[in-house]
Every structure is written in C-alpha cells, then in structure tokens.
Amino acid sequence: MTRLHDTIAHLKTNGTTMCHFIYDLPALHKHVQAITASLPANCDMYYAMKANSETSILAALSEDVTGFEVASQGEIAKGLAHKSAQHIIFGGPGKTDEELAYAVDQGIQRIHVESIYELQRLNALLATRQQQMNVLLRVNLAGPFPNATLHMAGRPTQFGISEEQIDSAIALALELPYIQLEGFHFHSISNNLDAQLHVEMMRLYFQKAKTWAHQHGFTLHHLNLGGGIGVNYADLTQQFDWQTFVDGFHQVIDDEAMHEVSLNFECGRYLVAHIGYYVTEVLDIKRVHQAYYAILKGGTQQFRLPVSWQHNHPFEIYPVSHNPYAFERISVAQKPVTFVGQLCTPKDVLAKDITVPSLTTGDVIIFNYAGAYGWSISHHDFLSHPHPTFFYLTE
C-alpha cells in the first residue's frame, strides 16, 4: 500500500486530476506464482481473460500461467500477442462461424463446446478443412449448488449442455469424424468463498466425468474444472482459503485416481482482483433530502462492478490537505455518505450509506480489489467523459 500511496502523492503533487486504475504487477506475480506452484503436477492454471484484458496485465500473467481462456475472437487475438496458439482455450456460449473458423485456423489448443448444435457446426466447419479439433463438452450439471454468488449451472442458464442431454452429446461427439473428444468442461458456480465446498465440487466433477467416459467407452484425457473461486468484497480480511482448497484437491485426486488425467483451472477474478485499485477524487459533497452524497470524478462508466453486483465496494479515504480555492472546502464527518459518479442516472453508485470518519472535497478515494471486472465490463463512453489513465507499479 505504501507504493500506491507514494504514487498518489506524486500524481497530486504534479496537479494530476485523480481518475486512475493502478495495478500492482509485483503483487500479481507473487500471488499467481504461489498459486501455480501449489498445484498438482497434472494441473495447469489458465487465466480467464474476461476478468481484465489490459495488455500489461496479460503480459505480466503470461510469465506465470500456462495459457489463456478466451471467449471471443478479439480475446483470441489478444492472447496470441502473448502466448502461442497451443496455450489458448476457447469457451463461452454463442460462438459464431467466423469465430470458430478463426480459432481453428489459428491452431488454438482446444474448444469448449456449449451445445449439440455448436458441436455439429464445428464439425461441418472442420470438414471443409479436413482437420480435427480437440474438444471438451461443457456440462451444465443438474445441481443444485448452494452458497455461491453466481450460479452457472444447476438451474436454467445459457451455459453448457444440460446434464440430461449429455449422453446424446457424447455419443454424437464420438461419431463425428472431425471431433476429438478429450473430456469435459465444468464451471458450475462463480465467486465461491467456501474452500471445502470447492473441494467437494472437484470430487463431483471427477465422478461424473469418469462415469460418462466408462459408459461411452472412451478415454478421459482432460478436464477443465472452471474457475469460480471468489473474492469477498464485504470483508477483505476473510478471503477464500486457497491452502485448505489445494490440500483437499490433492487428496481428491488421490481418492479418485485422477493422476493420469490432465486437469486445468481457468481463474480470472481470483488472480487479479486484489492487485488493482480504482483511484478517484471527491468533486463535491452535498446533502439532499437529509442524505449525504459524495460526487466522484468518474463513476460506474469506468468501474461498473459495484452496481453490477449490487454491493458496496470497499474503499479507503486518502486525505488531501491542499485547497486550490480561495473559499473553504466542504466536509462531512461521522455521517453515512453515498459515493456516486458523474453520470445522469441514480444507479451510478459505488458505495451506499457508508459512515465516514471524515471526508472533504478534494480527498482521494481508493477503491480496493478493483483489478477484475472493473474497466473491462464498464460502459466506457456513456456521457462521453474522459477515460481514466492506467498506471502499473513495477517495483
């Protein structure tokens, strides 16, 4: 945090208006290297690019992960700038013919098929090239799966092949001449904070995959175990217990005799959330109908995560003593304050009714854990405000 504060102080000294994303690259390397070093020998970590696809982030991560998990042609192209095609895996619903053709022609490692129709379309495309492609079938398990913020399976969603249809999908994949079925892709829950629950999910995935491979008489070569490991934005001191999970994961591999099957995770949020900060300044403080509002430079068009997830995003206040005006600044103390942006919508909220010890116009607000699904999911040009600047701490 000292490096972050030093950077902010430097920017303020130089008169820079505060509206930045700041990323701590050494912290990123340390975190990801520790994770990958703890994985079993037959398990690789891929980075889910959707969490944050800034070039400097991808360049840094390319040193520490096996490859990238992508969900569009644009993401494939971004990945290819940092990794060879054989280190890129392509998932996500609604792949177009153009995207599938691009993936095949670039020679990417594997495609995760989301439906029987997509499987048929891919085989037809491959037939025109007389070429085979390694494929995983993404399965939407029946569930239910409790205790997670988002559910990708176990209920009606657009993701994967319904478990009740998986036997038909497997049979078809084994018949189609240009499809090389390697195994399955599971991603049933997202933002899970319960390490033991995640261990049990791995056991369920292994058992399901082995059963289907045995029933259909094919060799199970590979499983994609998804991501889904969460970040606790409500209490930054209580995060997912990686060590408990990885210890249990090693044991489940032993229990289920999965050492000969290639495994991979595709984590995004868990790898990059904590190394990013959205840093902005208080433009105004006002009281409206007995409620206090802090108007910030920027807002959800730059950092959409809080309103998307409907949570109060964690932050700290960096006090600024300098007053550039001849009149007094506005202050509030020991009152609940709602932090909003500059947009012409009441939904432009980053944190609501947070009691602050002291807050003054011109102070800097540092939103922590802003490295994932911040800028990458935001509606950047709504109202055509300037984009933030990006800084990368390197030492």
The two most distant CA atoms of the chain are separated, in Å, by 80
Is the pLDDT reported for residue 13 higher than 80?
A: no
Given phi > 0 = left and psi -120 to 50 = alpha, else beta, which region is 353? left
Contacts made by residues 63-71, CB under 8 angstroms, sequence distance 24+: 63/29, 64/29, 64/32, 64/33, 64/36, 65/32, 65/36, 65/271, 66/264, 67/109, 69/266, 69/268
Place 266 in a pLDDT band, splitting at 50, 70 and 90: very high
pLDDT at residue number 147: 53
* Residues forming CATH 2.40.37.10 domain(s) in the chain: 1-22+276-393
**Is the CB of residue 369 less than 8 Å from the CB of residue 233?**
yes
What burial letters (b/e) apply to 99-123, b meaning 16+ CB within 10 Å? bbbbbbebebbbbbbbbbebbebbb
Mean pLDDT along residues 216-244: 96
Q: Which amino acid is at 57?
A: I
pLDDT for res 150: 43
Burial class (CB in 10 A: 0-12, 13-18, 19+), 42: middle
Question: How would residue 9 be classed by pLDDT, with cut points 50, 70 and 90?
Answer: confident
Q: Is 38 exposed, middle or buried (0-12, 13-18, 19+ CB in 10 A)?
A: middle
Residues 6+ apart with CB under 8 A from 30: none
Measured in residues, the chain has a length of 395
Reported as a single tens digit per residue, the pLDDT across 61-79 is 999 999 999 999 999 999 9
Q: From CA 75, how far away is CA 69, in angstroms rounded?
A: 9
Instruction: Write out pLDDT tens, residues 136-194.
Output: 999 999 866 555 444 444 456 777 899 999 999 999 999 999 999 999 999 888 889 99
- The region that residue 343 occupies, defined by phi over 0 for left and psi between -120 and 50 for alpha, beta otherwise, is beta
The domain made up of 25-273 has a fold known as TIM Barrel (3.20.20)
Structure tokens at 172: 């078809």
Of 153-157, 218-222, 264-268, 343-347, give the lowest mean pLDDT range: 153-157
Quote the CATH superfamily of domain 1-22+276-393: Lyase, Ornithine Decarboxylase; Chain A, domain 1 (2.40.37.10)
Which of 201, 94, 89 minimizes the C-alpha distance to 154? 201
Average pLDDT of the segment spanning 25-45: 98
Q: How confident is the model at residue 383 (pLDDT cuts 50, 70, 90)?
A: confident
Residue 297's H or E segment, with its range, is none
The pLDDT mean for the chain works out to 93
Q: In terms of pLDDT, which residue wins out, 16 or 352?
A: 352
User: What pTM value is reported for the model?
Assistant: 0.93
pLDDT at 38 over 60: yes
Q: Give the burial class of 357: count Cβ atoms within 10 A of its Cβ; 0-12 exposed, 13-18 middle, 19 or more buried.
A: exposed
Q: Which residues are catalytic?
A: 344
Residues 349, 266 contacting (CB under 8 angstroms) = no
- State the span(s) of the chain assigned CATH 3.20.20.10: 25-273
Which amino acid would we find at residue 216?
H
CA distances from 391 to 54, 161, 288 (A): 11, 41, 35
